Amino acid sequence: MSQNEEVRFLPYEQAVKLVAAIQEEEDVARPDHRVLTVYNHDDREICWFDFDEVMEAVSPVEKSREKEMVSEYILRHLPDWALDI
């Protein structure tokens, strides 16, 4: 993607229907680094988010609401090209 291209996000309602799971996983390319991988209902990887960046974006948040806020953030920032997966 060039710097001139703007990332467009899916509408929240569409993202909710598309996403089946968000899984925290080890980044295979970078040891000791975590990513949040997003899967669809066919168990196919749609995209991933940097764990540290997402946590920074949703902070500060109570530990009891952390999972909910991370999910909410990802669902509101799912790129529109995820439909092509």
The domain total for the chain is 1
Tell me whether residue 3 is in a domain. Answer: no
**pLDDT band per the 50, 70, 90 thresholds, residue 44:** very high
Contact criterion met (CB below 8 Å) for 78 and 47: yes
Tell me whether residue 41 is in a domain. Answer: yes
Q: What are phi and psi of 30, to 5 degrees?
A: -135, 105
Tell me whether residue 30 is in a domain. Answer: yes
Tell me whether residue 1 is in a domain. Answer: no
Q: In what order do the strands lie in the sheet with 45-50?
A: 19-26, 34-40, 45-50
Which domain covers residue 59, as residue numbers? 12-84
Q: What is the pLDDT of residues 17-43, one digit of tens each?
A: 999 999 999 998 898 999 999 999 999
Tell me whether residue 6 is in a domain. Answer: no
pLDDT higher at 2 or 55 = 55
